[in-house]
Amino acid sequence: MIELGPRLILSVLAALWALILVTLCALALVHAVRIVRSRRRARLDLRARPLVIRYALDDEADPALGETLRLTTGALGDRVDERLLSVLETLRGEARERIATMLVERGHPQRLRRRARSGRTTVRAAAVRRLGQLALPDDAVLVAAAVHDRAPIVRTIAVRAVASYPSAAMVETVLEQLRGNGEVPSLAIVTSLIDQGSRSPEALRAIRAGLGDDRAAVRASCAQALGELTSAADADRLGLLLRRDPTPSVQLAAATALERVGRASSVPALLEATRSPWGPVRAHALQALLALPRDVTTEALAEVSGRGDALLAPLLPAADPAPGS
């Protein structure tokens, strides 16, 4: 049995204090390294940012400036790449093409393609996002393949990135995620559909075709996307979906979409939906009716008012005062 004498106690206390001191020194060292790196990064940004902004905004690119950016390497080169990518999302037309060309000439896409096959999830996700920003035709297959990555975060980012390559095939690639295990948020899927549908007639036709899919999640997401695209041409399709689809989530998506794209021909479907057993469907159908011109909804609103539905009554407009009152 060990005897707890004064010498042993002092030795243990000395060891504990030494361990605490070493830990504090290590934390201080790590903190100091982070500060140094942060300050160095800020200094490099101060050098890279004005060069990139001037190159992006000048109508006639300075050849000497372009050569400087093209040949910059090392840590400053990394900051130049970051600055080029950051302005890429805000530019259109010739300026965007000039920035994308500079990134290609700097070899940035090749580095991103290697990182997109990395074993680290965060590295793959960041690379896929940036490849989507660049939207180079050669990367369409690689970005589409990332939609089936083993990591949910990479799949989610890839779903957004494929919107840079709008087509019927890419719409179907995105919708496949709704037929899987549901790990990709529906918001990311709908956002991708909206981006594609707004840029490609072919993608828009594929979204419309999704209204007849076997999966309720697919029908609901396509209806939601069509509503956000605000095309009155889809009002009849959405009205038919609202009347015939048996799934509450799909009815709700159709009714919500008709709040944006409804027209006079939508009134019968919306009026029928105000009798739905599901409260949210009734409420959004009424909201869609209220969004239409009053001269086409007067009779429908009067019928809804006459039912005395406790859920819908607060949403109805106040009755006009009687003449002479």
Sketch the domain layout of the chain as residue ranges.
Answer: 49-106, 230-314
Structure tokens at 291: 């969004």
Q: Do 273 and 283 form a contact (C-beta atoms < 8 A)?
A: no
- The helix-helix angle for 201-209 and 186-199 (nearest 10°) equals 130
Q: Which string of DSSP letters, residue by residue, matches 180-217?
A: TTS-S-HHHHHHHHHHHHHH-HHHHHHHHHGGG-SSHH
pTM over 0.75: yes
User: What does the pLDDT read at residue 3?
Assistant: 65
Q: Do 153 and 165 form a contact (C-beta atoms < 8 A)?
A: no
User: What does the pLDDT read at residue 59?
Assistant: 67
User: What does the pLDDT read at residue 151?
Assistant: 93
Q: pLDDT (tens digit, 0 to 9) for every residue of the chain, 325 residues total?
A: 556 677 777 888 888 999 999 999 999 999 999 998 888 888 888 888 888 888 887 766 678 888 888 888 888 888 888 888 888 878 778 888 888 888 888 888 999 999 999 999 999 999 999 999 888 999 999 999 999 999 999 999 999 999 999 999 999 999 999 887 778 899 999 999 999 999 999 999 999 999 999 999 999 999 999 999 977 889 999 999 999 999 999 999 999 999 999 999 999 999 999 999 999 999 999 999 999 999 999 999 999 999 988 999 999 887 655 444 4
Q: What's 316's DSSP letter?
A: S
User: What does the pLDDT read at residue 45?
Assistant: 83
Distance, in Å, from the CA atom of 276 to the CA atom of 312, rounded to the nearest integer, reads: 12
**278-293 b/e (C-beta count within 10 Å ≥ 16 → b):** eeebbbbbbbbbbebe
CATH of domain 230-314: 1.25.10
